[in-house]
Chain A
Amino acid sequence: AQSVTQLDSQVPVFEEAPVELRCNYSSSVSVYLFWYVQYPNQGLQLLLKYLSGSTLVKGINGFEAEFNKSQTSFHLRKPSVHISDTAEYFCAVSVPGGGNKLTFGTGTQLKVEL
């Protein structure tokens, strides 16, 4: 079985500062990796995904993430955050051939302050 760990439940950051949201996964097989964002009272929206190939993945809204197989990590980064980035961020994994079943972490609340 796969699992995802998001150690930071909350990350406060000032506007225009860089941010990194951490994600570590556990799996005995190769995985696909995802980051989703959830704004208040809305569904989840896909930010970016890693399926194969380049380990640096660029997504929407200026976010990027880097897959590190040796450290089993997929940290999300943004060089300069905006107030509108305030939301809950979820890291997720799925297994190729596993029916597209997503296993989510517990989420990280990003709070951008002026």
Chain B
Amino acid sequence: EAGVVQSPRYKIIEKKQPVAFWCNPISGHNTLYWYLQNLGQGPELLIRYENEEAVDDSQLPKDRFSAERLKGVDSTLKIQPAELGDSAVYLCASSLGGSQSEQFFGPGTRLTVL
């Protein structure tokens, strides 16, 4: 069974440019999460989807970040415009749902903003 797929794995952009990350969750997983992991830190939740609905986006900086999960499967996280401080690893995870459901993580996208 394929795991969570993310692309690209690495992205280098200049500040003020837009960038987008893509995530394909494990088949059948209704819940999808986007996390931000700064260097030397643990992941922090940005947004959680139940199917196509964003049920927790309280930590998403909505002035420059946006996300979508059309048809309740794949998801895209976008930053526009990117800032130097956005350099980090962006992790996607998925689960079957429920408070005891294991989250499976993708390998992440490492973003470098110059």
Residues A45 and B105 in contact in the complex (CB < 8 Å), given A99-B55, A100-B99: yes
Does more than half of chain A's interface fall in helix, strand or loop, or is it mixed? loop
- Please tell me which one of the listed residues B97, B99, B105 contacts residue A44 in the complex, with CB atoms under 8 A apart: B105
> Which residues of the other chain, B, contact A41 by a CB distance below 8 angstroms?
107
Interface size class of B (residues with CB under 8 A): 20 to 34
A100 touches B31 (CB 8 A): yes
Is residue A46 contacting chain B, with contact meaning CB distance below 8 A?
yes
Residues of B within 8 A of A19 (CB): none
Please, how many angstroms separate the alpha-carbon atoms of A49 and B98 in the complex? 15
Beyond A36-B105, A104-B44, A107-B42, 12 extra complex contacts between A and B, CB < 8 Å:
A41-B107, A43-B91, A43-B107, A44-B93, A44-B105, A99-B48, A100-B48, A100-B95, A100-B99, A101-B48, A104-B42, A107-B41
* Closest 4 pairs between A and B when the two form their complex, measured CB to CB: A104-B42, A43-B105, A44-B105, A43-B107
